[in-house]
Chains A and B, each alone.
Chain A
């Protein structure tokens, strides 16, 4: 357990194809959430939508922070007034596929280095705190 959501996936498809699925609005709308204005341009604002529910207006407001074709894409993710950051990383695998990484973090990007250094120790601390939470 860490202070962000981290996932990794090995895909048989090459990075070029995975990149399209992550950045083409028509394709992204098919698996993530509906978007019409997602643009692969740093600084561009865009939104994701789902059906609103009583608990949520169904809107995620985003801004493209960082973009390296076939390698990395990072955007802000603001839902219910909470600002977070989504980072996708793509790396080719020996078999011609893609190792896809996802990190969804609540910390601002300027603190990322500090987080990387702190992460190991934190995983342990947080699990201790989780035990405390569970017991209290």
Chain B
């Protein structure tokens, strides 16, 4: 899966988006995340695994506890995708405007 597709897939799920959003506030353990969200701990763990596969989240072990945090570079494919299409559509919309001016009613 290309980087941007993996990011779209990972963030396309509302629960994963909620977990990711919570992690933007700082590092957290599965237990803390599950306590704040209407999903079970195993479900949170699965979502975290998906977010890690997409490169959006990294983990750190501290004794028996595992902590999760945002991996900011993981969003790079999304930022690049947006920049690419912003330029693409700005150019196309300018061409659309010219075409509309040339079109007969």
Contacts and interface: CB of A to CB of B under 8 A. Distances in A.
Residues of A in contact with B, size category: 35 or more
A83 interface: yes
Interface in A12-61: 13, 17-18, 20-21, 27, 30-32
A9 B90 CA distance: 10
A128 B5 contact: no
A4 B86 CA distance: 9
A123 B90 CA distance: 20
A21 B99 contact: yes
Contacts of A108: 12
A67 interface: no
Given A125-B21, A130-B79, 20 more contacts: A1-B82, A4-B82, A5-B85, A5-B89, A7-B89, A11-B97, A13-B103, A17-B103, A31-B92, A31-B96, A32-B95, A32-B96, A81-B1, A82-B4, A106-B8, A106-B78, A111-B12, A129-B24, A133-B75, A136-B73
Q: What are the nearest 3 A-B pairs in CB distance?
A: A106-B8, A132-B72, A31-B95
13 contacts: A3-B78, A7-B93, A17-B105, A27-B99, A32-B96, A81-B5, A83-B8, A106-B81, A107-B8, A107-B11, A111-B12, A130-B79, A133-B72
